[in-house]
Chain A
Amino acid sequence: MYNVRKVTDDLYWVGANDHRLHLFENIYPIPRGVSYNSYLLLDEKTVLFDTVDWGACRQYLLNIEHVLDGRPLDYLVINHMEPDHAACIEEVLLRYPDVVVISTEKAFLMMTQYGFEVGENKIQVAEGDTMDFGKHKVVFVFAPMVHWPETMVTFDTTNGVLFSADAFGSFGALDGKLFNDEVDFDRDWLDDARRYFTNIVGKYGPHVQAVLEKAGTIDIKILCPLHGPVWRTDLGYLLNKYDLWSRYEPEDKAVMIAYASMYGNTESAAQVLASELCERGVTNVVVYDVSTTDVSYLISEAFRVSHIVLASVTYNLEIYPKMLDFLNQMKSLNLQKRTIGIIENGSWAPQSGELMSKFMDDMKLMDVLGEEVSLASSLNDVSYRELREMADAIAEQINGKK
C-alpha cells in the first residue's frame, strides 16, 4: 500500500521510513530509525527529487505510482548520489524509461561508477542553471562537500521550496509526522539532528557556511531535506543551529565530562567534579562513559558544549583506546574553540594527561585549562584540591565571574 503525504500544493512526500536498519552508514546507531525523503512535483511536467535507500525501494515505487496516477514521469532530479538516496535510480529508469535525469557532472560520473546506465536521457546542469516545469521554475545551486563533492540543492522559485539534499536532515523515522510543527523538535529531535550533522557533515564547516551564505540570498519558505522532518515554520531556529555548528561555536555554556575508567576510580573523580560544578551553580553538566557510549553521541555533545573535561586512565603508557577514539573523531571532524579540562589517572606511570593535553594542543583553537588533575589510582586530598581548582576555573568561565 502506498504511504504518501502532501507537502504543499503540487508537491508530495514519496519517501519511506526505516526502523530495521541498526547502523546508519554501517556506523551510527539509530534507535529511532531513519527516514529517506523523496519528493514528487506534479506540474505540466512531473519531477521526482532524489530516490531512496534500496531497502525502502518497494514502498517508494508504490508511492510514485500512486501520486503519478497514470501520468508519465518526465524528470528525475538527483541532488545527492549517496546510495541511501540514489540506490533506486536504476529501478526508476527501468520502470520509467523515458525519464530525463537532471544532475551535476560529478554526479553523472558517479552514476557510471555505481553502474547506473542513464544513457542519452540526461541534462547536465551547472551552478545557477534554471529549469521550467510549467508553473514551477527551479534553480540549481551547487553545495560541494555538504558533505559529498557532487551535491547540489534545488530551489523552487515559485513556491520557495528548497530541496536541500542532506543539509538540514536528521536521524529518526518520521512515523507519520512529516512537518517540524507536528513534533516537539527540541525535545524529540534536536539531539538526533545534531548527532546527524556533527558526525556526518561536521568536518565541512566552511562549506556549510558557504551554502548558508547562498541561502541567505533567497526567500526559503519550506525546507525539504533528504532525512527527517520538513521545515515549514521557524526556519531561523534551524538555520541558527547550523550556523553555530558549522562555525564550531558551542550551543550551550555547558560542561561535558567524558571519562574512561577501568575500575570506577576515574569515574568517581568525574562524578565528584560534576557535583563540584553543580555546587558552583554550573548545572548544565553531562557525564559520559566513553566505553559504553557510542562515539557519535560523544561527538554530538562535544559540539554542543563549551567545556569538555577528558578524564582518562593511562593504558599501555597511552591514552585509553576508547578515549583515544573519541579524541581522533573530534580531530577529524575539525572540532575547535572548546575549553578542555584534563584529568589523568595512572597507578605507576600516569601519561594520559600529558598525551591528551598534547593532542588538544595540536588541534585548532582548543584551549587546555592549566588546572590539570593527576590521580594516582584514586582521588586523594591533593588531587581533590586540584579537582576543586578545576571546578573553580570552569565555573569562573561559565558564570562569567571575575
Chain B
Amino acid sequence: MLYQTTEQHEALRQRVREFAETEIKPIAFQLDQTNGFPAEQIEKFGKMGLMGIPYPKEYGGAGLDVMSYAIAVEELSRVDGGTGVILSAHVSLGTWPIFAFGTEEQKQKYLVPLAKGEKIGAFGLTEENAGSDAGGTETVAVDKGDHYLLNGNKIFITNAPKADIYVVFASTDPTAGTRGISAFIVEKGWDGFTFGDHYDKLGIRSSSTAELIFNNVKVPKENLLGKEGQGFKIAMATLDGGRIGIASQALGIAQGAFESALGYAKERVQFGKPIAFQQAISFKLADMATMLHTSRLLIYSTAELKENHEPYSMEAAMAKQYASDCCQKIVDEALQIYGGSGFLKGMDVERFYRDSKITTIYEGTNEIQRVVIAAHIVGKPPKQKSQRRSRTKTAGATGPRKNIMFNEGSNEEKVAQLVAALEKDGYDFSVGIPIDTPIAEAERVVSVGKGIGPKENMALAEELAKQAGAAIGSSRPVAETLQYVPLERYVGMSGQKFKGNLYIACGISGAGQHLKGIKDASTIVAINNSPNAAIFKNADYGIVGNVKDIMPLLAEALDTGKPKESAPPMVKIKRARPKKQAPDYNFYICNGCGYEYDKELGDEASEIEPGTPFEKLPDEWMCPKCGEGKDEFIKA
C-alpha cells in the first residue's frame, strides 16, 4: 500500500488553504486581539459547501470522506487554530450525533441545515462537576408527558452562543449514573435557554466559548436523540470522532508554526549564515518535521478506519493525544527559533503557541486519552468498589446552608422577613464598615452580578452596601467585562475570597468559581430573578425578584436613620448547621452478634457493593461476623 493522499484530497486541501490564506489569515491577529468570531467567513465557508464535508449529499453534505474533513480542519488551523475548531466542533460534535443517531425527521429538520452550513452546531456535555467523569452530570431532564423539562448548566461549550443547534446531555434517571444520561437536540432561542459567562481564553480566541444555562426549558419529546439512557453511549461515540478533528487541529497549528519558523530560520542570518544552517536549529526543524509526519500518518489512518467503519476508538485517542503533545513541542521550538521576536504580539508563532495548549485539554484531556488507550490494551480494570457515600446529604459548593426562601407576600414583606432573620442571627445594622474596605478584610459585602443590569443600577448597590454597613464586591464578569468595579473587588476562586460574616449576592447566578470564593461566609443572602439560579442552593436566605426592586427596599429596611457607627473588631458569626436527618432506609441487625448491616457500606468481605439494600442481598448471604443467615436479622 502507498501511504499517500489522493489527488482529490490534495485538490480539497488547495481549496481550503486558499480560503484560509485569503479570508482568515489577514484578520487572524485582529480576531485574536478582539476575541472576534469570523461569522461572515464561516458563512462563506458554508456556501462553499465545506461545513458538511463528511455527510451525504442527500442531507446537504459534500459527500466526501473523513480524511477530507480532517484535511479541512488541518488547513484552517494552519492559519488560525480558533477557526479550525469552529469547523471541528460543528462537524464532529454538533452535527455527527444527529447524523448517526437521529430519526429521519430529526435529520431533515436539523442535519440538513447544519450540513449545508446554514446553521452552526454545538455539543453540551461538560459541567462544573462532570468533566472527564460524565457520570457526575447534574443537568436533569424530567419527563413531563409531551415534553422534557430541562434544568442545569453546561460550561466551556465551543461555538456557544453563536451556534443555533445544540446536542445537550442530561440525566433522565439521576440514580443510574452514566446509564441515566440521555441526549437532546435543543435550539437557541427556546424559552429558558440562555448563555452565561463569556470566557476570556488564553488561545483559540476567534472561537466562541460560553456557558449554557437551562432554566425550565421545554424540550419536545421528538427532540430526544436516540433512546432514554443512551446519552453516554452517544457522547462517547461522538467524542471518538471528535478526536480526529482535534488531532487535525493540533496538526494544523503545528504545521503553521513549523512553516513560519522554517521561513524565519532561512531568512535570519547570524554568524554569517541563515540560522537554519546552524545545526542547533536544523536539528530542531528535523525533529519538528518528523513529529508532523508521524502525527499526520496517525490521523489519516484513523480517518480511513472510521471511513471504512472499522473500530477506531483507540486509534482516535492515540492520534489526538500524540498530535496534540507533539504540537506543544513544535510550537515551543518554533517560538524558540524566532527568539525574542517570537515573544511579541502580532507574530503568528506567538498566537500558535497560545492556541496549541487547548488541544491537550479538550475533547478528553490527554490523560483521559491514555486511559482510553490503556483500556484497549489491558482491558477493563477489576471491579471497582464504589465509594461510600456520606450519610448526610451532600451540601453545595458553599457547604451546608439554611436554604430559607422568603416567598410569601409582597416584596416589602419578603424584605422585612429577611431583615428579621438577619437581626436574629446577631447582625447589628447600626454599625458598618467603609464601602471600600478590601474584600478579604470586610465583615460584610454587598456583591453584584450581571443581573444588576445597566451601570446606573450600581448606585442602588452602593446605597444598599452603605445601609448594610458593607463593602462592595462583584462577580468576575462585572469587574472584568462590564468594568463596573475595579478588578480587585471581584469575589471568587480566582479573585478575592470573602471570609467575613454577611454576603449579600445581588443578581449573581452562582458560578462554581464564585461560590468557592464565599464558602467561608457565615451568612449568604441571595437576590436573583431566576428561581433556579445556583446561588439559592448555596445561600442561607433567598428572595426571588428583580434586584432593581429588592435592593432599594432592603436598603430602606436597613436604614436606621443615622450614619453607621464604626464597626467593632469582627467577631465571626457562627454558621448554622442543618439538623441531621435519619436515613430513609433501615439498618438490619444480626441476632447472632449485633452486627449492623448498613446498605451504604455494603459488605466488602462478601463482595456486596455499597448501596445494596438488605432485601437485595443474595439468599446465601451470611453475617460477616458470626455466620448467621439473612433470616436471623431484625430491622432496626
Does A74 count as interface, using CB distance less than 8 angstroms?
no
Could you say which residues of chain A place their CB within 8 Å of the CB of B589?
A: 145, 204, 206-207
Could you say which residues of chain A place their CB within 8 Å of the CB of B626?
A: 149
Contact of A382 with B593 at beta-carbon distance under 8 Å, contacts A210-B634, A365-B580 already known: no
> Is A367 in contact with B577, judged by CB distance below 8 angstroms?
yes
Could you say which residues of chain B place their CB within 8 Å of the CB of A364?
A: 391
> Is B634 in contact with A371, judged by CB distance below 8 angstroms?
no
> Is B574 in contact with A372, judged by CB distance below 8 angstroms?
yes
From B391, B574, B592, B593, give the contact of A371 (CB < 8 A): B574
Using CB atoms, name the residue of chain A closest to B574. Answer: A370
> Is A389 in contact with B574, judged by CB distance below 8 angstroms?
yes
Contact of A206 with B634 at beta-carbon distance under 8 Å, contacts A370-B575, A385-B571 already known: yes
Could you say which residues of chain A place their CB within 8 Å of the CB of B593?
A: 145, 149
Does A220 count as interface, using CB distance less than 8 angstroms?
no
> Is B577 in contact with A144, judged by CB distance below 8 angstroms?
no
Q: How large is the interface on A (under 10, 10 to 19, 20 to 34, 35 or more residues)?
A: 20 to 34
Could you say which residues of chain B place their CB within 8 Å of the CB of A145?
A: 589-594
Task: Report the count of interface residues on B (CB-CB < 8 A).
Answer: 23
Could you say which residues of chain A place their CB within 8 Å of the CB of B634?
A: 206-207, 210
> Is A369 in contact with B594, judged by CB distance below 8 angstroms?
no
How many A-B residue pairs have C-beta atoms within 8 angstroms? Tell me: 48
Using CB atoms, name the residue of chain A closest to B635. Answer: A206
Does B579 count as interface, using CB distance less than 8 angstroms?
yes
Does A366 count as interface, using CB distance less than 8 angstroms?
yes
> Is A144 in contact with B591, judged by CB distance below 8 angstroms?
yes
Does B636 count as interface, using CB distance less than 8 angstroms?
yes
Could you say which residues of chain B place their CB within 8 Å of the CB of A204?
A: 589, 594
Could you say which residues of chain B place their CB within 8 Å of the CB of A382?
A: 571
- A242-298 contacts to B, CB under 8 A, are none
- A321-369 contacts to B, CB under 8 A, are 361, 364-369
What are 18 A-B interface contacts by the 8 Å CB criterion?
A144-B592, A144-B632, A145-B589, A145-B591, A149-B592, A206-B635, A206-B636, A207-B634, A361-B392, A364-B391, A365-B582, A367-B580, A368-B577, A369-B577, A370-B575, A371-B574, A386-B574, A389-B574
Q: Per-residue 0/1 for B372-403: is the Cβ within 8 Å of any A Cβ (1 yes, 0 no)?
A: 00000000000000000001100000000000
Does A203 count as interface, using CB distance less than 8 angstroms?
yes
Most B CB within 10 A of own CB, among A210, A367, A368, A370: A370
Q: Per-residue 0/1 for B349-374: is the Cβ within 8 Å of any A Cβ (1 yes, 0 no)?
A: 00000000000000000000000000
Using CB atoms, name the residue of chain B closest to A372. Answer: B574
* Bound Cα distance from A149 to B582, whole angstroms: 27
* Bound Cα distance from A149 to B626, whole angstroms: 10
* Bound Cα distance from A116 to B591, whole angstroms: 24
- A187-211 contacts to B, CB under 8 A, are 203-207, 210
Could you say which residues of chain B place their CB within 8 Å of the CB of A368?
A: 577
Does B576 count as interface, using CB distance less than 8 angstroms?
yes
- Looking at the assembled complex, report how far the CB atom of A246 sits from the nearest CB atom of chain B, in whole angstroms: 11
Using CB atoms, name the residue of chain B closest to A371. Answer: B574
- Looking at the assembled complex, report how far the CB atom of B541 sits from the nearest CB atom of chain A, in whole angstroms: 15
Could you say which residues of chain A place their CB within 8 Å of the CB of B575?
A: 370
Q: Per-residue 0/1 for B587-613: is the Cβ within 8 Å of any A Cβ (1 yes, 0 no)?
A: 101111110000000000000000000
Could you say which residues of chain B place their CB within 8 Å of the CB of A386?
A: 574
Q: Per-residue 0/1 for B390-431: is the Cβ within 8 Å of any A Cβ (1 yes, 0 no)?
A: 011000000000000000000000000000000000100000
* Bound Cα distance from A207 to B580, whole angstroms: 24
* Bound Cα distance from A370 to B401, whole angstroms: 11
* Bound Cα distance from A157 to B406, whole angstroms: 61
* Bound Cα distance from A144 to B589, whole angstroms: 11
* Bound Cα distance from A236 to B590, whole angstroms: 28
- Nearest 5 A/B pairs, CB to CB: A144-B591, A206-B636, A370-B574, A149-B592, A145-B594
* Bound Cα distance from A385 to B582, whole angstroms: 33
Could you say which residues of chain A place their CB within 8 Å of the CB of B590?
A: 145
> Is A207 in contact with B582, judged by CB distance below 8 angstroms?
no
Could you say which residues of chain B place their CB within 8 Å of the CB of A385?
A: 571
Contact of A149 with B580 at beta-carbon distance under 8 Å, contacts A206-B634, A370-B574, A370-B575 already known: no
* Bound Cα distance from A385 to B392, whole angstroms: 30
Could you say which residues of chain A place their CB within 8 Å of the CB of B582?
A: 365
Could you say which residues of chain B place their CB within 8 Å of the CB of A144?
A: 591-592, 632
Contact of A366 with B594 at beta-carbon distance under 8 Å, contacts A145-B589, A206-B636 already known: no
* Bound Cα distance from A62 to B576, whole angstroms: 65
Could you say which residues of chain A place their CB within 8 Å of the CB of B577?
A: 367-370
Contact of A207 with B574 at beta-carbon distance under 8 Å, contacts A145-B589, A361-B392 already known: no
Using CB atoms, name the residue of chain A closest to B636. Answer: A206
Could you say which residues of chain A place their CB within 8 Å of the CB of B576?
A: 370
Could you say which residues of chain A place their CB within 8 Å of the CB of B632?
A: 144
Q: Per-residue 0/1 for B619-631: is the Cβ within 8 Å of any A Cβ (1 yes, 0 no)?
A: 0000000100000
- Looking at the assembled complex, report how far the CB atom of A359 sits from the nearest CB atom of chain B, in whole angstroms: 14
Most A CB within 10 A of own CB, among B571, B577, B594, B636: B594
> Is B574 in contact with A149, judged by CB distance below 8 angstroms?
no
* Bound Cα distance from A144 to B635, whole angstroms: 13
* Bound Cα distance from A210 to B426, whole angstroms: 47
> Is A367 in contact with B574, judged by CB distance below 8 angstroms?
no
- Looking at the assembled complex, report how far the CB atom of B585 sits from the nearest CB atom of chain A, in whole angstroms: 13
Could you say which residues of chain B place their CB within 8 Å of the CB of A367?
A: 577, 579-580
Q: Per-residue 0/1 for B549-580: is the Cβ within 8 Å of any A Cβ (1 yes, 0 no)?
A: 00000000000000000000001001111011
* Bound Cα distance from A365 to B581, whole angstroms: 7
- Looking at the assembled complex, report how far the CB atom of A400 sits from the nearest CB atom of chain B, in whole angstroms: 16
> Is B591 in contact with A207, judged by CB distance below 8 angstroms?
yes
Could you say which residues of chain B place their CB within 8 Å of the CB of A210?
A: 634
Using CB atoms, name the residue of chain B closest to A143. Answer: B591
Using CB atoms, name the residue of chain B closest to A145. Answer: B594
